[in-house]
Structure 1
C-alpha cells in the first residue's frame, strides 16, 4: 500500500505546473502559473518555502534538477526562456545561464544522462528544439529547426547511449513522435511515427529495458496513452493503455522495473506493469494516510529509494 510521506502548503498564488526533487531527496522545487519557483529544504524544521526565484515572466512550465555532479536547477516558461540556477551557498541560488532565443514559449526541458556531460534539451512552441552543452565552463547551443509543425510540446532523452550516441525523442502538435540522433553537430530524424489521434502532450523514455529493449510512453491531449516498443530501434510496435479512460495528462516511469505511472486530470494516478510484450496490467493501488514516524526519520531512510519499489 502506498502512503503519503509528507505534505506542505506552498506560497504559490496560482496553479502548480511542475515539481521536482533533487537527487538526494533534500530539496523540493515547484513552479507555478504565477511565474514563481519555490524551493523547500526538507531537512529544515518547518518545511516551508525558503527560496523564491522570480526570473521568469508568466507561467513556469517545468523545473528540473540536474545530476548533483553539475548542481543545476533548470526551468522553462511562457516567456520563451531557459534559465539555469546554481546554489552559491546554503539556500541561495543565482542565475548562471539564460537562453532567450526561442520565439515562443519554451514548453519542456530534459537533462541528458549525466555520464555524457552537462547537456540539456529545451523544446518550444515555435517548433524548434535547442540543445545546450557545457564545454570548458561555456555553454554552446545547437538547434533542431522545424522539429514539429505548429510546436513541440515534450521531449525526453534516452537514458543511455544507443550505438554510442545520444538519442532524443520529441512529441508535438503535428500529432507525431520523432526520434533524433546527432551526426557531426547536425540532428537527424531516425524514426517518425504516423499521426496519432491528437497532439502529443507528454512523452517519457523508460530508463530500464523491459521485455523489449527500448520502451517509450506518450500521452495525447485527448488522453490516449501509447507504449512504443522496439528491439532494434528502427521498427516500433504500439500498445494503447486504458483506452476507455480519457482524462489522462502525464506519463512517467519508475527507475527500477517496467512500471508506468499515468497521471489523471482528476488528480488520481494509475500504475501499469508490463506482463507481456504487448500486454499491460493495471496495479490497483490507493494512496492512503496512516501514522508516520518523524519526518527526519523518513527522509533519512528514503534517500535514493524509489516510490514504486514497494510494489514488488
Structure 2
C-alpha cells in the first residue's frame, strides 16, 4: 500500500457511512448505510471481504475497533449497541443495555478499553461497561444539560473525561468515571472533583458540533461546527473559555490532532486543512492538497512540514 499518498479502492458495497481500523491496519470494518458490517482484510494487494456481521435491524451509525482487546463495538438506528468478540474465527455479538428511546448516533472505546461511550438522539450519552457479576454489558447515562442530538464524542487520555458535541450548538466536557471499573481520578487542568456525569466545561458553537477531539496531552480540546469554524479550549490557560476561528471554507465534519500544536480538519471541501495553535488561538496554515503531478515530492514536503511545526 505504498506509492501514491492517497490510495483509492472500491469495496463494492456502496457509500460508506462509518468505518473502523484494527490495530495494524490490515483489517477494516465498514458499513454502507445498512444494517450490515463488512470486515475487509488486506490480502495479495487487495481488500477481501472476510466477515459480514448482520445482528442490527437498522442502519449502523457508529463503529470502533479496540486495538488491544481486538473487540468491535457498533451502534445503530435500531437503538442498540453490540460488542463483537472474535472467537475461533467467528465474530460473536453481545447486546449492550444502552437504554435509548431514539437512534444511537456515535460510539467510541475509552483509552483503556474497559468501557465505551454511545451518543444518541435521546439527548444523552450512555457510558457502557462490563458487569462481571451478571455477565453482561450495562450502562450509566449522562443526560443534563444536553438539549439535542449527540453528534460526536471523544475520550480524554485519562480514561475519565469525555467531550460531547451536540446539535444544541454546544460542546461539553463531562466526567465519565465509573467506580466499578475506574481508579479514582487525580486532579487535572479540567478540574479536581469528577463524580459521574459532572459537567466540567460547556462551550458555545455557531452551529451543530460535528466533531470534538482532545489533544495528545488532554489539556486542549478542539471542535468544529456547521458554521465553518474551529474552536479551541486550552485547559492550562483557562478551561472556561473557548477561542473560535471562523473560516471561509465549507463546514468541517472531522478534526484530528497531529501533535500538541497542530490540527487537521476536513469536511465538505475536497482537501484537509492544517491549523496550528498560536498563543490562545488558532491559525490556518495551508490546504493539504496533493496535486496530480509530483505527488511524492509533495507528500515528503508535507511530512517535513509536520515535523517542523513544533520546532
TM-score normalised by the chain length of structure 2: 0.79
Describe how 1:252-271 pairs up with structure 2 within 5 A: 252-254=256-258, 256-271=259-274
The gaps in structure 1 that reach 5 residues or longer are 293-306
- In the TM superposition, what is the alpha-carbon distance from 1:135 to its structure 2 partner? 4.2
- 1:135/1:42 Cα in 2 relative to 1: closer, same or farther (>3 Å)? same
2:215 aligned partner: 206
Q: Secondary structure at the match of 1:48?
A: strand
- In the TM superposition, what is the alpha-carbon distance from 1:247 to its structure 2 partner? 3.0
Q: Which of 210, 228, 239 pairs up with 1:234?
A: 239
- In the TM superposition, what is the alpha-carbon distance from 1:253 to its structure 2 partner? 2.2
- 1:236/1:128 Cα in 2 relative to 1: closer, same or farther (>3 Å)? same
2:141 aligned partner: 143
- For 1:119 and 1:135, the matched residues in 2 are separated by 10
- In the TM superposition, what is the alpha-carbon distance from 1:282 to its structure 2 partner? 1.9
Describe how 1:91-170 pairs up with structure 2 within 5 A: 92-99=90-97, 101-114=99-112, 117-136=113-132, 138-160=136-158, 166-170=160-164
The gaps in structure 2 that reach 5 residues or longer are 180-194, 296-301
- In the TM superposition, what is the alpha-carbon distance from 1:123 to its structure 2 partner? 0.7
Deviates further, 15-24 or 257-266: 257-266
- 1:49/1:245 Cα in 2 relative to 1: closer, same or farther (>3 Å)? same
Residues 107-157 of structure 1 deviation map (CA, whole Å, 9 limit, x = unaligned): 11121111xx51101111101110011243543311112441122221111
- For 1:309 and 1:129, the matched residues in 2 are separated by 40
- For 1:64 and 1:132, the matched residues in 2 are separated by 14
Paired residues of 1:18 and 1:32 also in contact (CA < 8 A): yes
- In the TM superposition, what is the alpha-carbon distance from 1:289 to its structure 2 partner? 6.9
Higher relative contact order (CA 8 A, sep 6+): 1
Residues 12-58 of structure 1 deviation map (CA, whole Å, 9 limit, x = unaligned): 23x21122211112211212213322211114554222222222233
Paired residues of 2:115 and 2:127 also in contact (CA < 8 A): yes
1:249 aligned partner: 253
Question: Does residue 1:174 correspond to 2:172, yes or no?
Answer: no
- For 2:264 and 2:240, the matched residues in 1 are separated by 25
Deviates further, 99-108 or 136-145: 136-145
Paired residues of 2:98 and 2:128 also in contact (CA < 8 A): no
Question: Does residue 1:29 correspond to 2:29, yes or no?
Answer: yes
Count the aligned residue pairs. 281
- For 2:224 and 2:46, the matched residues in 1 are separated by 37
1:86 aligned partner: 85
